[in-house]
Amino acid sequence: MRSQMILAVMTAALAGCATANRPAPGVTYLVCGSTIRLDISHDGRTAIVRDSEGRQTRLTRVDSELGTRYAGGGISVLRAGDNYVYNAPGGDTMPCSRLQR
């Protein structure tokens, strides 16, 4: 009986470690070019970008020498430190500011 209890505790502890090592999804709120609002849900590998018109685009993390870049669906978001740059579908590039919510 005691060995079953120890096994149950160890199993729970290992499950907790596996969960703790996974990055928690986050949400970043940006305003780009003073007119475009983006809500970005990200987990370190992928991101879902929602624009102010309700469109959603799935982006994938891409290696970049400039910083963390998510790209897909004709758009990308680059983060280097506290700086964000949005590349819009039409090819426009604009700086973004982070919004607190």
Distance CA 70, CA 61 (A): 4
Q: What SS3 state is found at 74?
A: coil
Using the predicted structure, report yes or no on whether residue 5 has a pLDDT greater than 90. Answer: no
SS3 45: coil
**14-58, pLDDT tens digit by residue?**
344 444 444 456 899 999 998 999 999 999 899 999 998 899 999
CA distance 20 to 73: 31
pLDDT for the residue 8: 36
In the three-class reduction of DSSP (H, G, I as helix; E, B as strand; rest coil), residue 11 is classed as: helix
pTM of the predicted protein model = 0.71
Tens-digit pLDDT profile for residues 65-101: 999 999 999 999 999 999 999 999 989 999 999 997 6
Q: Provide the 10 A C-beta neighbour count for residue 57.
A: 20
- What is the token pair recorded at 73? 């669906």
Cα separation of 97 and 30, whole Å? 6
